[in-house]
Amino acid sequence: MTDVAGVSQSTAGTLYVVATPIGNLDDMSARALKVLAGVALIAAEDTRHSVRLLQHFGIDTPLAACHEHNERDEGSRFITRLLAGDDVALVSDAGTPLISDPGYHLVRQARAAGVRVVPVPGACALIAALSAAGLPSDRFIFEGFLPAKTAGRRARLEQVKEEPRTLIFYEAPHRILECLQDMQAVFGDERPALLGRELTKAFETLKGLPLGELREFVAADPNQQRGECVVLVAGWTAPAGEQAVSSEALRVLDLLLAELPLKRAAALAAEITGVRKNILYQAALDKQKNH
């Protein structure tokens, strides 16, 4: 059988995207171990790091580097192996590859070459934190790492200030305090937030507090400024008595209303802004009444 890329799917190998633990080695799945032991080659973000993980589990599959600096150019090496029939596994240093980690270019190239790509799911810091945060989890957005400098960080935070979905950020420990300061300045003292630190490890912290208090908690304890961290911030909600739709959502709605029938404009605006359709529909009706 051949696919659109003319590749024989029965002879090409499979690229497995394999999640590894984010701290606690017991989080390695039985399937991940089976796949890593069974493939011809493991493409690893840092081979020295992954070799220790593999040794721990008694796996001696050969490793080759696949990191952000070589992934785009060297990807073809892995694709050649895959097309020749070898199975390859992709791993990063911790957690799920491609999630703030290398792998995107390799996965893209593999799919473009008609190679089957199979996820082997497991640990992921953002999902682990969200699952235990007690913040709304039905809809959320992952913002990855914020810019390192305050001006850039605040500018990015301003863009999501009125985002109604739960916000998730990765942050480096030496910037966690500045980051919380900027979040407090942009989102306000009272916005519910959570610091997920050293998840799955011995000194795990899951501290949920309003942003002002969370910043004070981290400032008062240098231990909270070490280790790996995820920050979750509750989405924006309209203060009681104020209109329930953000100014950005209303701006989008206005633009669409100028071009489209009311129902279609409200539906599209909902898709773009994440605000519920019926709320935007009501806002559009109110606008019509007032004109």
Site string for ligand SAM, 149-168 (x = CB under 6 A): --------------------
- The window from 60-68, 77-85, 209-217, 224-232 that contacts ligand SAM (CB under 6 A) reads 224-232
Examine residue 95 and tell whether it contacts ligand SAM (CB under 6 A): yes
- 110 or 168, CB closer to ligand SAM? 168
In the list 7, 59, 65, 99, the residue contacting ligand SAM (rule: CB under 6 A) is 99
- 90, amino acid identity: L
Examine residue 196 and tell whether it contacts ligand SAM (CB under 6 A): yes
Residues 22-41 that bind ligand SAM (CB under 6 A): 22-23
- Smallest distance, Å, CB 160 to ligand SAM? 17
Interatomic CA distance for residues 99 and 96, integer angstroms:
6
- Smallest distance, Å, CB 96 to ligand SAM? 4
Residue nearest to ligand SAM according to CB distances in the complex: 95
Examine residue 193 and tell whether it contacts ligand SAM (CB under 6 A): no
- 23 or 114, CB closer to ligand SAM? 23
Examine residue 102 and tell whether it contacts ligand SAM (CB under 6 A): no
Residues near ligand SAM (CB under 6 A) are 22-23, 92, 94-96, 99-101, 124-126, 170-172, 196-201, 228-230
